[in-house]
Amino acid sequence: MSVMNRSMSEYRAGNPIYDIVLNNSDPLLNMHQEGMIGKYDSTVMQKYPKDQIDPRLGPISRFGIVGVLYNKSLVSPEDAPKALEDLVQPKYKGMLVMADPTLHVTTIQWLSSLHKVMSKDKADKYIRELAAMKPTLVESMLPAGERVQHGGKCL
């Protein structure tokens, strides 16, 4: 967010000192809405499937991979979740940690794409059940992984 905020402040002040801004899609879409982003037609774009080209930003060049981590000193491999649906079992209540979806784009993208790996009804139910688990929300993926690594009441 700080890259977007600084770039937007400079742009609005009429004194941008950046030439190129590298950021995630959501901040870039905000900047596009502000009129800050020029169109760039990459020759590489022809190699991308049409559904992987954003008409405002161009080719989608990376996807965030979300996985499940657990601390082996707190959860035995036999008791570890084997599927996403396992995470909402009562035995894990109070043990989950995840990047806060109100702060972290990858989490919101993951939640909003669950319907691609399970039916929409199942995904909606899963998200409600996940929220009911009262996960500890942290600012991004790195602190979530660190919490798991260092133990505590986190999975």
Query: What is the residue extent of each domain of the chain?
Result: 2-59, 84-149
pLDDT above 80: residue 153: no
The pLDDT, as a whole number, for residue 64 is: 62
To the nearest whole number, what is the mean pLDDT of the chain?
85
pLDDT digits (tens, 9 = 90+) for 20-45: 887 777 788 888 999 988 877 778 78
Residue 113 neighbours by CB distance under 10 Å: 13
Torsion of CA 4, 30, 33, 65, to 10 degrees: 120
pLDDT digits (tens, 9 = 90+) for 57-99: 888 776 666 778 888 888 899 999 999 999 999 999 988 999 8
The pTM assigned to this predicted structure is 0.60
Percent of the chain past pLDDT 90, that is, above it, reads 30
Higher pLDDT, 61 or 110: 110
Chain-centroid distance, C-alpha 17: 29
